[in-house]
Amino acid sequence: KEIEYILDDAPIITQTQLQHWAWISKYYMCHIGEVFKNAIPTAFLLESETWVCLSEDFTTGDESQLADDEYLLLEALQHQSALRITDITEILEKKTVLPVVNRMIKRGIVALQAEIKERYRPKMSRYVMLNHVADGEQGLVETLDGLKRAPKQYKTFLVYLDLVGDEPKPIKVSELKKITQDSGQAIKGLVKKRIFTEEMIQEDRIQYTGEAVVQPSQLNPEQELALGTIQSAFGENKVCLLHGVTSSGKTEVYVQLIKEALEKGEQVLYLLPEIALTTQLIQRLQKYFGSYLAVYHSKFNIQERAEVWQHVLECNAKAQLVIGARSSLFLPFQNLGLVIVDEEHEPSFKQHDPAPRYHARDAAIVLAKSMNAQVLLGSATPSLETYHNVLQGRYGLAEIKKRYGQVPMPDINLVDLKEQQKKKRIKGHFSEPLRLAMEGTLTEGKQIILFQNRRGFAPVMECTDCGHCPQCPNCDVSLTYHAYKRQLRCHYCGYYSAQVSKCHSCSSEALDTKGLGTEQIEQECQELFPDARVGRMDLDTTRAKHAHAKIIDQFTSGELDILVGTQMLSKGLDFKNVDLVGVLHADGILNFPDFRSHERGYQLLSQVSGRAGRHEKRGKVLIQTYNPYHQILQQVSIHDYESMQREQMYERRQHAYPPFARLIRVTFKHKDYSKLEQASEWFVQGMRNLWQDRVLGPVPPAVSRVRNQYIQVAVLKVPKGHDLATIKNSIKRIENSFNAIPYYRSVRIIFDVDPI
Ligand code: ADP
Ligand code: ZN
Ligand code: ZN
């Protein structure tokens, strides 16, 4: 095709990126196009709208043999030079007009024209500057004299002089207009008289904060030691894990490393699990690094994202330090020196949908290697995958075992709910010890965090006569009751309906709620402590753009006494005044049917507990459970990561699960259940022929139908040491034969490598 326009003066993607994206597509078994789509800000993509116009070759007289439709279109085009497909649909009063358009294209009567709709453009603003002719003391006096008879221009000129001070510099027209209350006429006049020259200057869309205001903190001996260990691991070009208990001051260690990298002129990438939760951290880093810090945010608009992209591509100092969630991995770094993966154990580093289903921590390590950059992984509760690499000697290990400033680790107590029930000491969902501890904390004027891993009022509504629970019509799952909106909601597809008053199955009105959600805890809390100010943080209260920041600010400033929330609360928050953390129901976290549930449980409970007593006084944690002898709860209560890690590793090795094997998950989806069953069985049989009992499934997952699609899942275990690339090729070959069977072709197949 002919080149119609040049989109960019220089490429917006680097060679290194292309290689890395190719690796992602290969490793995670998806198309390179899917990686591109995910990686590039949409403002850089060519979004065009198609217009139909008369062909240049068209001469009147050709219209003699046209059909009615075609003639109508031609007539319309003779009035209006170009029409959109939607316009044509209206004119022809037809549903599909493409056949008509295509026939006319073939006959050389009309042609298509693409117009670019939306594309990154730097933000340009109009400035004025003093023309050099009028420069100098003498020139100024003469100019002012000459303006005596134009008072508005005279005034504008004076304001301008005032704004520039001693050094000549451009002043923004809009700013000047605002101060002088000029409609623009005076400025125009001054330009016409050649006193001002006009200039278009590129500006930032994103507000970069000013200069750094503080120096990084002096590290204490433990932090100093950790820093040394990290640096010597980097000296050997090894990835390093910083394993430091909650509030040990890991962030301050990162800050030192970042500072050194920036001073060397290197770019730094700081990856976080969820950017929405990090206003605290961003404010902290801004104090140290000022305008070097750019945040790459999925809630930024597309032009802003493109702007960060440009800054990174140009190695601009303004985005030399990028802090962002997993997608910031795709930015066009040219001079990357350091990658920090904070809270490296967090599952949200893995993308589920859509493809590429990549793990940002793992992909970052590969990217860093290709650019000779160093990688630091940080966590108080490292993932077993990472810890395994440490034990194998592949990664370095730095440890901080004490909290900063001699603050002891929180005092964690388990509350036996069975015993409490027997003694009738429970009110609502609050045991006696928890109520007493809350009372004490409130009296002292300290704050409380309550953790419940489910949002909504109560997970399900149940008929006490027949046991029926209202189900989602699209998914194989019960609806969740949300008291605030009086709705039943599906957490999988978003379906909702008004609260029901009668059982759909037996018409009984004896409906009751079962299970426990954050809304209900909030309500009970308010009933137990009517004077306390209670807030709630979960997906439902934080949908809006700045909602997280608002709730966190309210809690930080002491406008709230109690904060009830889901796992959002476990992520890196640093509150000064929280003395008590309560976990309402630990069993729900530990009994999840997944081979990682114990590791997860340990991480989640330790992280939530870590919000207590971070400064000064020792914090207190109460964990309510029906099973206080569960080994994970015992380990959490004495901060024993070591034993947890050893026992879990043993089990994983016994059953050949990660980190001792890799998993490839194949998911099948289709509307028709019997076709799905047949198709998945066919596919998995192909896998079994190659890998026998290392193939598990196909089985329906816990929620086996979502959005009217039935689901089947199979998993292949690949022991360490086997060649993953060959295995993936074999799977792709099975997929090709599968797709060659017309009856199966409509079944959707999704690959997930290293699923989480
Ligand atoms: P972590 O990231 O390990 O959870 P933080 O870096 O948030 O810990 O540190 C916990 C608290 O201790 C923070 O309020 C931090 O400001 C303070 N702190 C940590 N290290 C230092 C230091 N070297 N000097 C002063 N304050 C520090
Ligand atoms: Zn019923
Ligand atoms: Zn649903």
Name the band, by pLDDT with cuts 50, 70 and 90, for residue 119: low
Tell how far the Cα of 81 is from the centroid of ligand 2, in angstroms. 65
Token digits of residue 476: 């194989």
Q: Give yes or no for residue 208 having a pLDDT over 70.
A: no
Q: 475 labelled as ligand-binding?
A: yes
pLDDT of res. 447: 94
DSSP 622: E
378 CB near ligand 1 (under 6 Å): no
- Report the distance separating Cα 456 and Cα 477, nearest Å: 15
Q: Is any ligand 1 atom within 6 A of the Cβ of residue 587? A: no
pLDDT of residue 110: 87
Give 579-598 pLDDT, tens digit per residue: 999 999 888 788 777 889 89
Centre of ligand 3 to C-alpha 471, Å, is 8
Any ligand 1 atom below 6 A from CB of 244: yes
Cβ(217) to ligand 1 under 6 A? yes
**Structural tokens at position 136:** 């100098």
Could you tell me if residue 486 is left (phi over 0), alpha (psi between -120 and 50 degrees) or otherwise beta?
Answer: left
- State the distance from the centre of ligand 3 to the C-alpha of 492, rounded, in angstroms: 5
pLDDT at site 24: 98
What are 174-200's pLDDT values in tens digits? 888 888 888 888 888 888 888 888 888
Of all ligands present, the nearest one to the C-alpha of 508 is 2
Specify the ligand 1 atom closest to the Cα of 246: 4
Nearby residues of 631 by Cβ (< 8 Å), 6 or more positions away:
647
CB 379 near ligand 1, within 6 Å: no
Tell me: is residue 472 an annotated ligand-binding position.
yes
**pLDDT band of 114, cuts 50, 70, 90:** low
The predicted pLDDT at position 720 comes to 86
Q: Return the amino acid letter for 162.
A: D
CA dihedral 467, 470, 473, 474 (to 10 degrees): -90
CA-to-CA distance for 753 and 756, rounded, in angstroms?
Answer: 9
Nearest CA to ligand 1 atom 17: 249
> Given this model, what pLDDT does residue 193 score?
87
Residues 6+ apart with CB under 8 A from 753: 27, 28, 29, 357, 662, 663, 664, 665, 728
Q: Which residue's CA is the closest to the ligand 1 atom numbered 27?
A: 249
Query: pLDDT (tens digit, 9 = 90+) per residue, 51-62?
Result: 888 887 777 665
pLDDT tens-digit profile of 358-408? 999 999 999 999 999 999 999 999 999 999 999 999 999 999 999 998 889
Residue 274 alpha carbon to ligand 3 centre in Å: 25
In which band, very low, low, confident or very high, does the pLDDT at 213 lie, cut at 50, 70 and 90? confident
Q: Of 735, 410, 457, 744, whose CA–CA distance to 579 is shortest?
A: 410
Rg of the chain over Cα atoms, rounded to whole angstroms, equals 32
Beta bridge pairs of residue 171 = 128
Residue nearest to atom 14 of ligand 1 (CA): 574
The complex's ipTM?
A: 0.96
User: For atom 21 of ligand 1, which residue has the closest CA?
Assistant: 249
Average pLDDT over residues 277-293: 85
Query: If residue 130 lies in a helix (H) or strand (E), which one and from where to where?
Result: strand 123-130
Mean per-residue pLDDT, 68-87: 82
> With 90 as the cut, is the pLDDT of residue 629 above it?
yes
- Of ligand 1's listed atoms, the one at least distance from the Cα of 342 is 2
What is the helix (H) or strand (E) element at residue 642, kind and residue range? helix 641-654
Other Cβ atoms less than 10 A from the Cβ of 281: the count is 20
Q: Is 606 in the pocket of ligand 1 (CB under 6 A)?
A: no
Q: Which ligand is nearest to the CA of 464?
A: 2
- H helix or E strand, kind and range, residue 91: helix 85-92
Strand-strand pairing, 411-416 and 336-342: unpaired
Give the helix ranges, DSSP H, for 265-317.
279-289, 302-313
pLDDT score, position 63: 60
Smallest CA separation from ligand 1 atom 19, residue: 249
The C-alpha atoms of residue 305 and residue 541 are separated, in whole angstroms, by 26
The alpha carbon of 544 and the centre of ligand 1 are apart by a number of angstroms equal to: 30
Mutate to test the pocket of ligand 1, among 254, 340, 404 (most ligand atoms within 8 A of CB): 404
Which ligand minimizes its atom distance to the CA of 465?
2
Answer whether residue 528 shows pLDDT above 80.
yes
Gap between the terminal Cα atoms of the chain: 44
Distance 374 CA to ligand 1 centre (A): 23
Tokens of 735: 């997929």
User: DSSP letters of 28-56?
Assistant: TT--HHHHHHHHS-GGGS-EEEEEEEE-T
Among 251, 287, 345, 379, the mutation site with the greatest number of ligand 1 atoms within 8 A of its Cβ is: 251
State phi, psi for 752 to the nearest 5 degrees: -135, 115
Question: Quick check: CB of 571 below 6 Å from ligand 1?
Answer: no
The ligand that comes nearest to the alpha carbon of residue 401 is: 1
Nearest ligand to the CA of 493 is 3
Q: How far is CA 412 from CA 64, 166, 602, 606, 619, in A?
A: 89, 64, 13, 10, 9
The secondary structure of 518-535 as a DSSP string is HHHHHHHHHHH-TTS-EE
Specify the range with the lowest mean pLDDT, choosing from 450-464, 505-519, 674-688: 450-464
Q: Which residues contact 701 (CB under 8 A, 6 or more apart)?
A: 711, 713
pLDDT for 116 beyond 60: no
**Considering the chain, what percentage of its residues have pLDDT values greater than 90?**
48
Q: Tell whether the model's pLDDT for residue 458 goes beyond 60.
A: no
* Residue 3 identity: I
CA 223–ligand 1 middle distance (angstroms): 10
Q: Minimum-distance ligand to the CA of 478?
A: 3
Give 118's strand partners. 47
- 3-class secondary structure for 350-410? ECCCCCCCCEHHHHHHHHHHHCCCEEEEEECCCCHHHHHHHHCCCCEEEEECCCHHHCCCC
203 CA to centre of ligand 2 in angstroms: 64
The reply to whether 525 sits in an annotated binding site is: no
| Residue (of 279, 270, 269) closest to 299 by Cα position | 279
Cα(490) to centroid(ligand 3), Å: 5
Q: Which atom of ligand 1 is nearest to the CA of 380?
A: 3
Does position 725 have pLDDT exceeding 80, yes or no? yes
Q: Given this model, what pLDDT does residue 754 score? A: 96
The answer on whether 463 is annotated among ligand-binding residues is yes
- CA geometry: angle 114, 116, 118, nearest 5 deg: 150
Span of 356-360, 469-473, 475-479 with lowest mean pLDDT = 475-479
Phi-psi region of 708 (alpha: psi -120 to 50; beta: other; left: phi over 0): left
| SS3 state of residue 736 | helix
pLDDT of residue 335: 95
- CA dist 97 and 455 (Å) reads 48
Mean of the per-residue pLDDT values of the chain: 88
pLDDT in tens, 535-577: 888 776 666 667 777 888 889 899 999 999 887 776 667 788 9
pLDDT level of residue 493 (50, 70, 90 thresholds): confident
How confident is the model at residue 72, as a pLDDT?
A: 85
Is the CB of residue 452 below 6 angstroms from any atom belonging to ligand 1?
Answer: no
Segment 262-277 shows an average pLDDT of: 88
Whether residue 216 has a cis bond before it, omega within 30° of 0: no
pLDDT at 242: 98
Most confident of 243-257, 590-604, 701-715: 243-257
Q: What is the mean pLDDT of residues 209-234?
A: 90
Please report the atom of ligand 1 found closest to the CA of residue 405: 12
Q: Is the CB of 251 within 6 Å of ligand 1?
A: yes
Q: pLDDT tens digits, residue range 29-47?
A: 999 999 998 998 877 776 6
Hey, whose CA ends up nearest to atom 20 of ligand 1?
Answer: 249
Q: What is the pLDDT of residues 288-346, one digit of tens each?
A: 998 899 888 766 777 788 889 999 999 988 899 999 999 999 999 999 999 999 999 99
From the CA of 489, the nearest ligand is: 3
pLDDT of residue 48: 61
Complete DSSP assignment for 486-506:
TEEE-TTT--EEEPPSS-TTT
Q: What is the pLDDT of residue 224?
A: 97
The answer to whether 739 touches 513, Cβ cutoff 8 Å, is no
pLDDT reported for residue 480: 81
pLDDT at residue 18 in the model: 96
- In the prediction, which pLDDT does 215 show? 85
| Spatial CA neighbour of 548 closest among 275, 350, 207 | 275
Q: 476 or 433: whose pLDDT is higher?
A: 433
Peptide bond just before 99 cis, omega within 30 deg: no
Query: Hey, which of 219, 227, 242, 247 would you mutate to test ligand 1's pocket, going by the most ligand atoms within 8 Å of its Cβ?
Result: 247
Q: Is 69 in the pocket of ligand 1 (CB under 6 A)?
A: no
Asked whether residue 506 carries a pLDDT value surpassing 90, the answer given is: no
The reply to whether ligand 1 has any atom less than 6 angstroms from the CB of 567 is: no
Residue 328: both structure tokens together: 């910031």
